[in-house]
A and B are shown apart, each in its own frame.
Chain A
């Protein structure tokens, strides 16, 4: 069985009610106890005075001075008219003088307390009595001989006193319960008031959409210390989402631009060719150019899809079941792929490796990273220059690849933007530095997807160094090897 979730307000109101009940119970208990104590001491005082007044009723007979008589007319009145007070008076030797009608003296089950008090039940009703032993008779006609000593027992019903104590308990409970309703109501009201900034915040947050990104937490919510972190977190979240959404939109717009340009090239190539009759050679050259344009567009689409795929799976988490790949092997493959360009530009590529780090990766992904980096390095090198590739493995299972060229370098203002998509380093010959400005963005996406980092350091005029660090499975240090690719 599933519990229905209880609202915050209900929980707090419930707690307040429970606390109030507990408090009432404690107050009632203490109140009743204190009241009982007070009532009992008053009761005892009255018992003692009544017993003494009973003693005063014993006197010597005027006609027979040795005889003791009891004057029953002066008996004190009972507090409880139903369970009337009882008494007994006897001589110290036990000879009875008088007693209340129907009462034979303290019954057998009587419990005595130290101060001369006694407790017993009379026909089921609790009684408390006082026993005054060996007290002299007050009224003495002649002074011959010591006065007789008598014992007086006086007892009264406890019911009245208990009723009073009970009433105190009832009053206190009633007061506690009477407070319960306004307290619960007040708590609920305060809760609702306190939660209203939260509702404001929720409704404000509910207004966020793709079209409506503006989100300012209501000042009321921000002013409350408990809600301030939530408001700030929400604002930050929305700002980040907005930014990422904006980047996505920018990407789509850039993508559209690139695709339209690509289509424009193909279309214009075909239209130029068709504008007038041409020789077979011209058609062949034109069609070859057209094919090249198609291949460029294919490459663009392929790069974009790869970038999208990499970014997707870097968001979804690492891929499993990846083969153990030799970093050196992928580097060598990449070197052979840019060899033609290197030859054309008369640039050497030298791979220097200390160790052969292995990592779990798709070899194609790694190769793409190196191809992009080497291609960039070669393009930016001056003829006769060298591109140095250094592979090393650090102790903490990290493969480091450094690609260094001695080319023109990147200006300080361009450096922070080189990983942006479709960013084109403007180079002097007016040629695109690397296809569609996606190369470095792809490198970054791949390296980051494998949990690595990519960093570029550049001195304008001196050259550029690109550092790639990727976590490696094993970084077994092997003999250092050099693979120079002569391109002359």
Chain B
């Protein structure tokens, strides 16, 4: 999952980004003002926007209006120090999905971020199931049948994304865009490495395979083998 944190207080932005990276294995980009936020959000498919209300150049409200006006469906979580009802109401009316007031609890922020991402993908339950595979996004644990599966953080990111988009073919490009922030070099063959690692840990030893490669299109996580397995 890739998150954009828009916050002009550098330290706060870094803390949130670190919390998201360490606590949820998300890829995080930081924007320091409203214009940068609009630019990034329009050029990258983020899974979540965490947006401060008072920003230089463009206010948080303007950013929300602009993105929603452009048809962006990315969930938006507002950070606000104002507790005036009006501003919260106008933000939610403009298309924001949730808000936390400063000073917030980082754990709560992460939980709300995860919930928004789940709902953004059309899932409400924190546990995503594909056949007998269970991905618990709250605890970041994976289980296949009765077996606990231990994944590396990057493998988990790939699996969580595929689980959110189960039964849909996900291209390498889409995976790259959602799993890495701007600080990473992107090589598509990295994805193949993670996929093969995931196959080994999840599918090996099970008669029903869940991870499928659609040659030339990407990957899909689903119960029934509909396509040819590589």
Chain A CB within 8 A of B208 CB: no
Chain B residues in 8 Å Cβ range of A296: 11
B22 and A263 contacting across the interface, CB-CB below 8 Å: no
Chain B CB within 8 A of A460 CB: no
Chain A residues in 8 Å Cβ range of B104: 264, 267-268
Chain B CB within 8 A of A487 CB: no
Chain B CB within 8 A of A271 CB: yes
> How far, in angstroms, from A447 to B57 measured CA to CA in the complex?
29
B107 and A257 contacting across the interface, CB-CB below 8 Å: no
B103 and A256 contacting across the interface, CB-CB below 8 Å: no
Q: Which B13-71 residues have C-beta < 8 A from chain A? A: 15-16, 18-19, 22-23, 31-33, 36, 54, 56-57
B19 and A271 contacting across the interface, CB-CB below 8 Å: yes
Q: Which A383-435 residues have C-beta < 8 A from chain B? A: 424-427, 429-432
CB B133 to nearest CB in A, in angstroms, measures: 26
Which chain A residue has the least Cβ–Cβ distance from B54? Answer: A257
Chain B CB within 8 A of A324 CB: no
B11 and A256 contacting across the interface, CB-CB below 8 Å: no
B10 and A431 contacting across the interface, CB-CB below 8 Å: yes
A426 and B11 contacting across the interface, CB-CB below 8 Å: no
A260 and B102 contacting across the interface, CB-CB below 8 Å: yes
B8 and A271 contacting across the interface, CB-CB below 8 Å: no
B18 and A272 contacting across the interface, CB-CB below 8 Å: yes
Q: What are the interface flags for A423-462 relative to B under an 8 Å C-beta threshold, 1 for contact and 0 otherwise?
A: 0111101111000000000000000000000000000000
Which chain A residue has the least Cβ–Cβ distance from B52? Answer: A261
Q: Select the residue from B11, B19, B22, B56 with max chain A CB neighbours within 10 A.
A: B11
Chain B residues in 8 Å Cβ range of A292: 11
Chain A CB within 8 A of B225 CB: no
Q: Which A279-325 residues have C-beta < 8 A from chain B? A: 289, 292-293, 296
> How far, in angstroms, from A367 to B72 measured CA to CA in the complex?
50
CB < 8 Å neighbour of A271 from B11, B31, B102, B105 = B105
A263 and B103 contacting across the interface, CB-CB below 8 Å: yes
Given A256-B81, A260-B103, decide whether A275 and B19 contact each other with a Cβ distance below 8 A: yes
Q: Select the residue from B15, B32, B56 with max chain A CB neighbours within 10 A.
A: B15
CB B147 to nearest CB in A, in angstroms, measures: 25
Which chain A residue has the least Cβ–Cβ distance from B22? Answer: A275
Given A253-B82, A275-B22, decide whether A268 and B8 contact each other with a Cβ distance below 8 A: no
Q: Which A64-108 residues have C-beta < 8 A from chain B? A: none
Chain B residues in 8 Å Cβ range of A430: 8, 10, 31-33, 36
Chain B residues in 8 Å Cβ range of A211: none
A272 and B8 contacting across the interface, CB-CB below 8 Å: no
Chain B CB within 8 A of A269 CB: yes
How many residues of A are in contact with the other chain, CB < 8 A?
29
Chain B CB within 8 A of A276 CB: yes
Which chain A residue has the least Cβ–Cβ distance from B20? Answer: A272
Given A430-B32, A430-B33, decide whether A272 and B15 contact each other with a Cβ distance below 8 A: yes
Chain B CB within 8 A of A148 CB: no
Chain A CB within 8 A of B9 CB: yes
Chain A CB within 8 A of B106 CB: yes
How many residues of B are in contact with the other chain, CB < 8 A?
28
Chain A CB within 8 A of B125 CB: no
CB B62 to nearest CB in A, in angstroms, measures: 13
Chain B CB within 8 A of A184 CB: no
Chain B residues in 8 Å Cβ range of A432: 8-10
Given A272-B18, A289-B11, A293-B11, decide whether A267 and B106 contact each other with a Cβ distance below 8 A: yes
Which chain B residue has the least Cβ–Cβ distance from A432? Answer: B8
Chain A CB within 8 A of B12 CB: yes
A261 and B9 contacting across the interface, CB-CB below 8 Å: yes
Chain B CB within 8 A of A265 CB: yes
Chain A residues in 8 Å Cβ range of B16: 268
Q: Which A32-55 residues have C-beta < 8 A from chain B? A: none
Chain A residues in 8 Å Cβ range of B10: 430-432
B54 and A268 contacting across the interface, CB-CB below 8 Å: no
A257 and B106 contacting across the interface, CB-CB below 8 Å: no
B22 and A276 contacting across the interface, CB-CB below 8 Å: yes
B23 and A275 contacting across the interface, CB-CB below 8 Å: yes
Which chain A residue has the least Cβ–Cβ distance from B31? Answer: A430
Chain B residues in 8 Å Cβ range of A429: 32
Q: Select the residue from A263, A266, A272, A289 with max chain B CB neighbours within 10 A.
A: A272
CB A444 to nearest CB in B, in angstroms, measures: 21
CB < 8 Å neighbour of B106 from A256, A271, A276, A425 = A271
B102 and A263 contacting across the interface, CB-CB below 8 Å: yes
> How far, in angstroms, from A292 to B32 measured CA to CA in the complex?
20
Which chain A residue has the least Cβ–Cβ distance from B15? Answer: A268
> How far, in angstroms, from A174 to B8 measured CA to CA in the complex?
91
Chain B residues in 8 Å Cβ range of A258: 81
18 residue pairs of the A-B complex, CB under 8 angstroms, read A253-B82, A257-B54, A257-B81, A260-B81, A260-B101, A261-B9, A261-B103, A264-B79, A265-B12, A265-B15, A268-B12, A268-B106, A271-B15, A272-B15, A272-B22, A272-B106, A432-B9, A432-B10
Q: Which 6 A-B pairs have the closest CB atoms?
A: A430-B32, A426-B56, A271-B106, A268-B15, A264-B103, A264-B102
Chain A contacts to B: CB under 8 angstroms: 253, 256-258, 260-261, 263-269, 271-272, 275-276, 289, 292-293, 296, 424-427, 429-432
Chain B contacts to A: CB under 8 angstroms: 8-12, 15-16, 18-19, 22-23, 31-33, 36, 54, 56-57, 79, 81-82, 101-107
In addition to A253-B82, A266-B103, A268-B15, 18 A-B residue pairs with Cβ atoms within 8 Å of each other are A257-B81, A257-B82, A261-B81, A264-B104, A265-B9, A267-B104, A267-B105, A268-B104, A269-B11, A269-B15, A275-B19, A275-B22, A275-B23, A424-B56, A426-B33, A426-B56, A427-B56, A431-B32
